[in-house]
Structure 1
């Protein structure tokens, strides 16, 4: 049974039993405490917790999920994957234990011919919470399981909670017995891999507090509305139904594994090490495909860093299999074809997906080449000294260059040396500790969303700001310092929840409105407007006059000038996006934006920097669209209807069943957008591109001033041009050539100065050679040159002095200050190296004193630091080293 067929049967089964089929949410979670959607219940948390009223009594979904906390286990166990699909059925105060258990047993054991999953009841085991007699008795009554295959287990395995005060409850897990050849008898209680958990039924029935750990908490009582949350692992059911041993061999994953094995010339099943690498490749390619399809792009932070890590682990694994060239163009199309029947978007958006993936692979292959040079130098130095590759070098390669530690170990092993893994592990742990501390600090800064639970229960905030800039309303809630209060007094910062508002809450790239909220005897300045939970608009205000009380009349007033500027900027974002696609092609998708009055920023998918001519063309097309006075039309319609019209849905954005479509000039620009806009393109006024830059290997960013801010920018530039033309005494038309002439003169002067400086330093060669001192077996020249033009000047002088030392064991160490930083360069003669002097080691000695680093080969090396005042001390340390 194919994985997509299991998904279809699941949704069909529960839809026929009154469940609303909810499409999978994005892998990018709405929950600010989560980077990704990590479980099938995540999109339903607001309903399960009571924070937001559920729009249906019962629901079902097959949710895309990403978890990377066990990434090192991928490929080593039968069921550890970074991407997986969680099938779930949910009840919000409707059916409870009996319904959940009945549905589960019916779907699992109904024959395939009758639309079920066709499991043999003799292969199934069940666990329940040790004190949950009700669940035990229901399994006895609703299933054919004998009592010995219904096992009672403790809180650590069969009790669910979020780890925070709130809803919790016992759970019941369903296991499949793989058979005696896979492990010992005794059922799930043995915790043996023979028994595969396929379905977890959570009975959310209690309110808990004083949560100290997973097993230590206080039950306050039963919830007023009991909920059901279940999760079935689609991949686990698939590998059982397809008769294979693990999730890497199912229909959606195995094709990538086979193609990777073919490319590397390997046979799957012949080597445990190779098998693990092939599984990692198959899993991570699929995860990368699905993350890219949901708009995540590789970067050095957040979600983008996780994606980058997954893709680079694929490259690493292919190299360890012996395949060193680019492989993504072979692997990603295979994964696309395996996943497209379940997720058509991976085929529809594959052009974007593939370009982003292939660009990341090219970048990493170049990174590996750079890292190899550093590693080769470190290996040579360690081999010559009879030591290991320093742990800090291995960490530098890993952290800065993305060079996997496994490759560092492999290269070192080939050279017959080791790597100081203890130091490497220590530095890695320090990095993890910093990351955890940072994450904990950020988590502590987030407001407790439960404070909005009752407020959201009063209904959805009506946004009236599309049609009016002032709106009468009343105060439904006041929150100060995270606590609901009855009043907010003059001088306080408070959060206000109103029944209606004309003020736009930040979203879709558009910053929140500026304005005021006024009422009988009070005035409040609006500082921010946000949607902390779906459907609830919260105004952060500073009370500037009087006292605000609950249920008081309040009027929201939008700053007209600010909204006009915000409308211009948001419409300008759409105009520039359309111009980009006209110039660069339809592959240039928006990948993020931010706009506020007078300014817009747009990220888009493109690998190469834009030429000056291209930027000018985009700016011209944008302003021509403004001059053409194109009509701007906004309509609300069903999401499917909007897509049928060709409205562009942007990567990373989430849409409900009803959406707003914004047309500028009809089909010229047609996008889904909930922001505010001008009535016609001429109202934008003017667009002035001020910046174009890279925001990753596959994304570029343009920034623009809009409207009156664009005019001000042009006026400022005109004033600068006039000042330069006046100061240089040339007409404006000749200004560029005049500046170019001056630049050429300046460069020529700098070259003459550098030549004179080199000549001056060269004249010091006899003096330096004459000042050589005998230290141990070496003739040593060491001196501080003071301020120099560049490190190249010192290097040239060092080589000339070394040539004059002849055949004797000689060492030359010269230092100076270049650009405000200390530079030290060492060189050794052939006889000096035979006597044990190594230039790379000597500059590292000096660099430690100077507060920096350095390295190089035995004959010539360079180091530096931060404190020029310590140059004399650094040279003295080198002399002490040679004497020793």
Structure 2
């Protein structure tokens, strides 16, 4: 049974039983504590916790998920994958244990001919929470399952909660027995390789007051409404129903594995390590494709870093299979073809997705080449020092700074006959993870924080009037101080204000929040921020400037008109620049992110090379021509499918509801889905002044622009600067570039003359310095301070010249100078001196220690420095003492 067929049967079964079919949410989670949608329940948390009223009593969905905490297990087990799909049926205060158990068992065991999944009842086991007698009894009496196939497990296995105070409850899991070939008999409590969990039923029935760990929490009492949260792993059911060994061999994944085998010339099933690598590639390529289809782009932070890691692990695995050149063109095409029937967007957006993948592959292959060069140097140095172990900090540097995987470092070091100090590498990695966790913890906004909004959200959605009004009278629904509800807030306090209606725009869609005030009888509040903490609710962070505000009082939201005007100019300007980009570069220049506020916009777009100055000018001219043409700006609310049929552009990675707001500028010239605030005609934007273009990744560029009055001010400032320069240089504006070029050429010529003079002056000092050489131990030693110099290169050249002047004698030249107010030492040794045991690196290190710094280098030439200029005589004396022993 194909994966898509399993999904269809699941959806049809529950839809026929009154469940609303809900489309999958994005892999990019709305939960601020999560990078990704890590479980099927994540999109439903607001309903399960009661923060947002559920729009339906029961639902069914197939939810895309990404989970990378077990990434090292991918390819090694039958069930670990980074991308997976959860089939879920949900009840929000409707049916409970009896309904959930009945539905699950009936769908699993009903024959395929009757629309079921056709599992044999004899192959199924269940687990229940150790004290959940009700569930155990239902499995026996309602389903007829023998008591010996019902196992009771503890909190670690069969109790669910969010990890924060809030809802929780026991769970019951259904397992499939794969047979004696896969392990010991005795049920899931004995062997979780033979007995595979396929369905988890969570009975959300308790309110937890304190949660200290997975197994340590306090139950405050029962939930007012009992909910059902269930999930069946689509990939797990698929590999069982398709009669294959693991999830990597199902129809949606196997084509990538097979293509990797073909490209590498290896046979899947022939060698365990190769099999693991092929599974990693198959999993990671599919996960990367799905992440990019939801708007994630490779980067060094957050979600982008996870995507980059998946892509680079895929490249590494291909390399270990012997494929050192590009392979993503073939692998991603195979994944697209396998996934497009379930997710058509991977085919629709494939040109852009492939561009991202190929750009990252090209960048990392070049990174591997440079990392190999660095590693080669480190290997040579390690061998020269007589060591058989590559330093752990070198391996960490390669991994952390250059993105060079530790597995490749281990492999290549082994080929060179070296081992790696893995203990030191692991310690440095742990330190880095601990720092990252501490940083994430400091920024984390826990789920429990959102529960304070439940009562306000239950009163309905906040009405936003700001599209047509700049002030709106409403009432104060709630006040929060330090995250806790209060009845009043007084002068000097910072608080959150929840209004029934507001004219103030909450930050979203790349547009910064409005500035403004909230006023009422006897109080004035300065608006510091406007956000949507939960879906449908707007919260205003304010400073109480005057008086005292209380819950239930009348309040008027007032938008700062100047700021709103600038914000609408910038947001409409973003649409103009996007349209101009696509007109010049083509449809692949797809917006991947934006930010705009009064007077400023930035726009990220898919592109893999810098824009020429001519291209930037063309884009700027097209955008400003649209402003000049005074195009009409029209906004409409339409069903999503109708909007797309009209050609409205859905921005890559954005999330949209069933009804969307369409913004047209000049009709179809620019037509995008957008909930931001906009001007009425394009002329109101005023002016676009592109001030920057830069890279934000291998496949993404960023343009920045000033808008409106800020754009004019920038031009005015540049005009004033040109005026000052033309006046100072006594030339006309059109001759300014030539005049500056002439001055630069003269300056360079003067610098060359100065350098020649300084070099001559240094050379004239060589004989006198050589004449100071005295026999010290077995060598002739020149140990002198030469005063102040302009650079370390001058001191180095002087030391080498003195060494040459001394000829074939066993000589050591140790010179010091002040460079930039700090002491610098250079040591040069002749071949004969090195044969007698003199080592420039050791001597420079000794001098640097006296100077209060560090140093070292090769045996023939080395340098050191410090901070204590007064210690220069002592440093020179240290060299004399060392060589005179």
TM-score range, shorter chain: over 0.9
Shift of 1:797: 4.0
SS at match of 1:546: strand
CA distance in 2, matches of 1:178, 1:626: 67
Residues 304-337 of structure 1: per-residue CA shift (max 9 Å, x gap): 1111111111222222222222222221111111
Is contact 1:754–1:789 with CA below 8 Å preserved after alignment? no
Q: From the superposition, tell whether residues 445 and 48 of structure 1 become closer, same or farther in structure 2 (CA, over 3 Å).
A: closer
Question: Which is worse superposed, 82-91 or 819-828?
Answer: 819-828
Is contact 2:165–2:209 with CA below 8 Å preserved after alignment? yes
Is contact 1:60–1:88 with CA below 8 Å preserved after alignment? yes
| Alignment of structure 1 residues 559-708 onto 2, 5 Å | 559-708=560-709
| Alignment of structure 1 residues 141-290 onto 2, 5 Å | 141-290=141-290
Q: TM-score normalised to the size of structure 1?
A: 0.95
Shift of 1:342: 1.1
SS at match of 1:439: helix
Residues 548-568 of structure 1: per-residue CA shift (max 9 Å, x gap): 111111111112221111111
Q: From the superposition, tell whether residues 694 and 10 of structure 1 become closer, same or farther in structure 2 (CA, over 3 Å).
A: same
SS at match of 1:188: coil
Q: TM-score normalised to the size of structure 2?
A: 0.95
CA distance in 2, matches of 1:620, 1:198: 58
1:59 counterpart residue number: 59
Is contact 1:381–1:857 with CA below 8 Å preserved after alignment? no
SS at match of 1:135: helix
Equivalences, count: 884
SS at match of 1:218: strand
Is contact 2:285–2:331 with CA below 8 Å preserved after alignment? yes
CA distance in 1, matches of 2:382, 2:583: 55
Q: Residue 547 in 1 paired to residue 548 in 2?
A: yes
Q: From the superposition, tell whether residues 150 and 400 of structure 1 become closer, same or farther in structure 2 (CA, over 3 Å).
A: same
SS at match of 2:557: strand
CA distance in 1, matches of 2:85, 2:647: 29
CA distance in 2, matches of 1:398, 1:881: 39
CA distance in 1, matches of 2:315, 2:880: 46
Is contact 1:247–1:253 with CA below 8 Å preserved after alignment? yes
Is contact 1:253–1:282 with CA below 8 Å preserved after alignment? yes
CA distance in 1, matches of 2:834, 2:3: 66
Shift of 1:808: 5.4
Shift of 1:769: 4.1
Q: From the superposition, tell whether residues 445 and 57 of structure 1 become closer, same or farther in structure 2 (CA, over 3 Å).
A: closer
2:491 counterpart residue number: 490
Q: Residue 132 in 1 paired to residue 137 in 2?
A: no
CA distance in 1, matches of 2:324, 2:70: 26
Q: From the superposition, tell whether residues 531 and 831 of structure 1 become closer, same or farther in structure 2 (CA, over 3 Å).
A: same
Shift of 1:763: 3.2
Q: From the superposition, tell whether residues 597 and 850 of structure 1 become closer, same or farther in structure 2 (CA, over 3 Å).
A: farther
Shift of 1:677: 0.4
- Give the gaps of 5 or more residues in structure 2: none
Question: Which is worse superposed, 619-628 or 416-425?
Answer: 416-425
CA distance in 1, matches of 2:336, 2:879: 60
Is contact 1:690–1:703 with CA below 8 Å preserved after alignment? yes
SS at match of 2:532: strand
Q: From the superposition, tell whether residues 799 and 410 of structure 1 become closer, same or farther in structure 2 (CA, over 3 Å).
A: farther
CA distance in 2, matches of 1:847, 1:883: 19
CA distance in 2, matches of 1:778, 1:106: 94
Is contact 2:693–2:701 with CA below 8 Å preserved after alignment? yes
Q: Residue 747 in 1 paired to residue 774 in 2?
A: no
Q: From the superposition, tell whether residues 856 and 139 of structure 1 become closer, same or farther in structure 2 (CA, over 3 Å).
A: farther
CA distance in 2, matches of 1:264, 1:877: 60
2:361 counterpart residue number: 361
Residues 234-262 of structure 1: per-residue CA shift (max 9 Å, x gap): 11111111211111222222222222222
Shift of 1:421: 2.1
Q: From the superposition, tell whether residues 832 and 667 of structure 1 become closer, same or farther in structure 2 (CA, over 3 Å).
A: farther
SS at match of 2:228: strand
Residues 459-490 of structure 1: per-residue CA shift (max 9 Å, x gap): 10011111111112111111111111111112
CA distance in 1, matches of 2:853, 2:272: 44
Residues 178-229 of structure 1: per-residue CA shift (max 9 Å, x gap): 1101100100011431111111110000111122222222222211111011
Q: From the superposition, tell whether residues 754 and 183 of structure 1 become closer, same or farther in structure 2 (CA, over 3 Å).
A: same
Residues 34-90 of structure 1: per-residue CA shift (max 9 Å, x gap): 011100110000000000001111111111111111111111222111111111111
Residues 757-811 of structure 1: per-residue CA shift (max 9 Å, x gap): 3333333433444445667666565666555444544454454445445555655
Residues 256-306 of structure 1: per-residue CA shift (max 9 Å, x gap): 222222222222222222222222222111111111111111111111111
1:424 counterpart residue number: 425
Q: From the superposition, tell whether residues 659 and 828 of structure 1 become closer, same or farther in structure 2 (CA, over 3 Å).
A: farther
Residues 608-665 of structure 1: per-residue CA shift (max 9 Å, x gap): 1111111111111111000000110000011111111111111221111111000001
Q: Residue 535 in 1 paired to residue 536 in 2?
A: yes
CA distance in 2, matches of 1:259, 1:569: 47
Shift of 1:755: 2.5
- Give the gaps of 5 or more residues in structure 1: none
Is contact 2:472–2:503 with CA below 8 Å preserved after alignment? yes
Residues 673-728 of structure 1: per-residue CA shift (max 9 Å, x gap): 00000011011111111111111111111111111111111111111111111111
1:391 counterpart residue number: 392
SS at match of 2:402: coil
Q: From the superposition, tell whether residues 803 and 416 of structure 1 become closer, same or farther in structure 2 (CA, over 3 Å).
A: farther
